Amino acid sequence: MRKPLIAGNWKMNKTMAETKELISAIAPKVKDADCDVVVCVPYTDIQTAKRAAKGTNIKIGAENVHWAQSGAFTGEISADMLKELKVEYVIIGHSERRQYFGETDETVNKRVQAALDAKFKPIVCVGETEEERESGMTETVLLRQVTEGLKGFKSKDFDKIVIAYEPVWAIGTGKTATATDANNTIGYIRHVLAKKFHRSIAEKARILYGGSMNVKNCKELMAEEEIDGGLIGGASLKADDFAFIVNYDK
Ligand code: PEP
């Protein structure tokens, strides 16, 4: 049985004061959630978010991690730095990182290794662009992202690794994959895990859907068998909306 997980991705939003306010507003609304509840926040908000989430069922995550322990990597953050902040999750390979900051499957792979070494749970994002989808390349792209991005990881690593299928054309656009499409594509990712890794890995790996998931479509998406949760961008910035999605089964 895979425990559902709903994770917020705040991207580059919220100051420390706003973080305290938003986490404090979310906490009482999600306290009876049946799923794992995660909020991934900007680095400068992590400490505030951890404090505000203390004693609640909300886990805090970061939005990236570098593979080196330290060094000349201006603007990056190391696992040791995040460890001191006691984050539990970290988003890796988000399409915005791939699109605007040159993230590749190879760097994703190295970042996942660093996250696992630090005992974080990596949320590894994969997904096709609109052009790739229109030219019938969705499966080819996902096959490459999953096999290259997760190359070398073993069965026990998949107790921690979470995959988020996020079609790039659905992120922040208000366009969502239909529940059936998302379910089928996540089913394909599971098939890749079974073929390239092991059937037991395909069965246990949690695979989320992300891309304009909101209060209107969350119940339908979460009712699908292959979808183990959601990575939520825009809707995670509003306490009521995020809590509604977390409580999708109520
Ligand atoms: C995301 O950033 O991972 C995301 C899914 O964003 P949105 O929900 O806004 O589409």
Q: Note if the pTM is more than 0.95.
A: yes
Q: Which of 63, 103, 166, 224 is catalytic?
A: 166
54 band by pLDDT with thresholds 50, 70 and 90: very high
Percent of the chain beyond pLDDT 90? 97
From 63, 66, 94, 96, the catalytic residue? 94
Mean of the per-residue pLDDT values for the chain? 97
What is the C-alpha separation between 144 and 247, in angstroms, rounded? 34
Q: For the segment 135-177, what is each residue's pLDDT rounded down to a tens digit?
A: 999 999 999 999 999 999 999 999 999 999 999 999 989 888 8
Digit-coded pLDDT (tens) for 194-246: 999 999 999 999 999 999 999 999 999 999 999 999 999 999 999 999 999 99
* CA dist., res. 27 & res. 37, Å (int): 10
Distance between CA 62 and CA 49 in Å, rounded? 11
Residue nearest atom 8 of ligand 1, based on CA coordinates? 233
DSSP 174: S
Q: What ligand 1 atom has the least distance to the C-alpha of 232? A: 8
pLDDT tens, 63-104? 999 999 999 999 999 999 999 999 999 999 999 999 999 999
Local structure of residue 45 (DSSP, 8 states): G
Amino acid at 125: C
**Is the separation of the CB atoms in 88 and 117 below 8 Å?**
no
Instruction: Tell me the C-alpha distance between 219 and 226, whole Å.
Output: 14
Residue 89: the pLDDT is: 98
pLDDT in tens, 8-32: 999 999 999 999 999 999 999 999 9
Q: Give the tens place of pLDDT for each residue, 235-250.
A: 999 999 999 999 999 9
CA 93 to ligand 1 center in whole angstroms: 13
Total count of residues recorded for the chain: 250
Could you give all domains of the chain from N- to C-terminal order, each with its CATH number? 1-13+82-250 (3.20.20.70)
Cα separation of 157 and 217, whole Å?
31
Ligand 1 pocket at CB < 6 A: 9, 11, 166, 171-172, 210-213, 231-235
pLDDT band at residue 130 under the 50/70/90 scheme: very high
